[in-house]
Every structure is written in structure tokens, then in C-alpha cells.
Amino acid sequence: MDQGNYSRVAEFVLLGLSSSWELQYFFVLFNFLYITIVLGNLLIVLTVISEPALHTPMYIMLSNLSVLDVFLATYATPKMIHDFLHESKTISFEGCMAQIFLLHVFAGGEMVLLVAMAYDRYVAICKPLHYTTIMNLCKCTGLVVGSWVTGIMHSLSQLAFTINLPFCGPNIVDSYYCDLTLVIKLACTDTYVPEVLMLLDSGLMGVTSFLLLLISYMVILITVQHHSSVGLAKAHSILTAHITVVTLFFGPCIVIYAWPFSNFPVDKVLSVFSTVFTPILNPIIYTLRNKEVKSAIRKLKIQYVSSKLLSQLSLTR
């Protein structure tokens, strides 16, 4: 293939979620979901920052997960909401590459952070006496930075062989964002090798994190069963929360990437799952079922109300 002798497409056309569905209902629904994601996750970040009792590795990583969730929901959903209302649903070539880059940074970062959170719980439950020496705030910062760096490296490696492919003609992407598995097929060259590379890259990332998560949960479960003195109920509720999030996050990824060569319509629904429903579930699962976070939120509310009352009192005087 003569790489120098073609004109690259300037933009891609996104077909959106579906052309036949009742768009105005979806517009309202996705607006609502998006606002809920942003507000819910910001509430977690605010709560953790403002409550000194929550300045522990577990909650610091949780609030970092919330930040990632907001980003994960933001790289594509506002554009999709915007596209509901507009006839031309195009995205520039650069915008498309940016979406691919961001998706893989945030998704990769989230995978590694979920592993770090599982490791934190493993130390807390299986080595409770050494917890403070093994998991200090410094180590926690290392894990958080490490998850960002891994996400960025993974994403750069994906983009490295995508961005130089010759995109010369077909530019229709049957989704509401630039999904790498779909975009790569549009290159006017034999895409077999790039597709296999992409699969190996994402697969390595996903499968490694997934296995590490499974192993840490299994070790925790086995430990908990042998020492009934370690708060069995507490460990179970933490594990249930983790396993639910992990299943909902990895399930769609596995299905999308396990059959990347055929484009099932179900893929779109699964993409919505990982970009909209996972970011909403994290605050619900990790926070609303957690006593410490609930009481911190209550404290925050009381502080807010009393400061309001005080300022009103001083105004009326």
C-alpha cells in the first residue's frame, strides 16, 4: 500500500445509538443519567476530602475512582446528548482519535485502580496487624499515580499503530462514539494485523487486571472462611460491592473485545453500560451501603445547614 498517496478523511460520521428509537425520551434519560453521574461522584469526592476520618487509602482511592468515573462518563456522553438534537453527527479525525485515547486512558486507569483497591482490601482483611505499615498514604499515592501512568501507556500504545493507518474512504462509525474496534476496520488496508495487535493490547490489560482481581477476591474469601474472627459479615459486604462493580465493568469489555471482528448490535448497549451505568453504580454501591460514608455525608449536610442558619441569623440582626 502506498502510504503517501491518499487523502485522509477529515471527519467520521457517528450513527448514534439508534435512528429509530424515540429520541426525545433518550435525550431526557441520558441527560438525567449524566447529571446524576457527575453530582453523585462529586459528592463522594467532596465527602472524602472534607472528612478527615476518611483520609485513609481505601477512601482516597475511592474518590479517585469517582474522578475517573466522571471522566469516563464525559469523554462521549455529552457529545451523544448533543448529537440527539442535531442532524449532522460528525466528529473530526482529531476528535475521534482523542476519544479513542481518552477512553483507553480512563478505562485502563480504572482497571488498575480497581486492582489497587482489591489489594488494599486484601491487606486490610488478610494482614490486619500489618495494615498500617504495608498500606500507608505514600504507597496509596504510588498506586493511584501508577494506575494513571498505566492507563496512559496502554492508550499511547493503542494509538501508536492506529493513528498512522491509512483512513482514506469509508468513515461511518456505527456507534455514538469512536470505538477503536469499529474505527480500525475503516482503514483502507488489510486490518488483520492491527486488529490482532489491538486485541492483544487491550486483552493483556483487561485479562491481567481481571485475573489479579479474581485471585485477590479468592484469597480474601479463603482467609475469611478460615478465621471467622475477622468480621465475616463486613468482609462479605465489601466483597459483594467489589465483585458487583467488577462484573459490570469487565463484563461488557470482555464481550466487546472478545468478538471484535463481528459487529453485534448488542455492542452498543454494552458500550452504554460501561460509559453510563458503571460510573453511576460506583457511588451507589460503594457509598450508599457504607455506614462511614453515609455518616460523613450527614455531617456535611449538618455543617451546610448550620452555616446557612448562622448567616441568616447574622443577616436578621
Ligand X SMILES: *[C@@H]1O[C@H](CO)[C@@H](O)[C@H](O)[C@H]1NC(C)=O
Residues near ligand X (CB under 6 A) are 45, 48, 60, 63-64, 67, 140-141, 144
239/296 with CB nearer ligand X? 296
Least Å distance, CB 109 to ligand X, is 11
Least Å distance, CB 52 to ligand X, is 13
137/160 with CB nearer ligand X? 137
Least Å distance, CB 274 to ligand X, is 22
Q: Please, what sign has the CA dihedral across residues 225, 231, 237, 243?
A: negative
135/144 with CB nearer ligand X? 144
Least Å distance, CB 82 to ligand X, is 27
149/269 with CB nearer ligand X? 149
| Rounded Cα gap, residues 145 and 157, in angstroms | 18
68/238 with CB nearer ligand X? 68
Alpha-carbon separation of residue 24 from 49, 81, 272, 305 (angstroms): 38, 10, 17, 37
Least Å distance, CB 55 to ligand X, is 9
Least Å distance, CB 139 to ligand X, is 9
Q: Which residue is nearest to ligand X (CB)?
A: 63
Least Å distance, CB 60 to ligand X, is 5
Q: Please, what sign has the CA dihedral across residues 274, 275, 276, 279?
A: positive
95/146 with CB nearer ligand X? 146
Least Å distance, CB 146 to ligand X, is 10
64/99 with CB nearer ligand X? 64
DSSP string, the chain: --TTSSPPPSEEEE--S-SSS-HHHHHHHHHHHHHHHHHHHHHHHHHHHH-GGG-SHHHHHHHHHHHHHHHHHHTTHHHHHHHHT-S--EEEHHHHHHHHHHHHHHHHHHHHHHHHHHHHHHHHHH-GGGHHHHS-HHHHHHHHHHHHHHHHHHHHHHHHHHTTS---S--EESSSS--HHHHGGGSSS--HHHHHHHHHHHHHHHHHHHHHHHHHHHHHHHHHHH-TTTTHHHHHHHHHHHHHHHHHHHHHHHHHHHSTTS--THHHHHHHIIIIIHHHHHIIIIIIT-HHHHHHHHHHHHHHHHHHHHHHHHHH-
| Rounded Cα gap, residues 271 and 259, in angstroms | 14
47/181 with CB nearer ligand X? 47
45/159 with CB nearer ligand X? 45
Least Å distance, CB 67 to ligand X, is 5
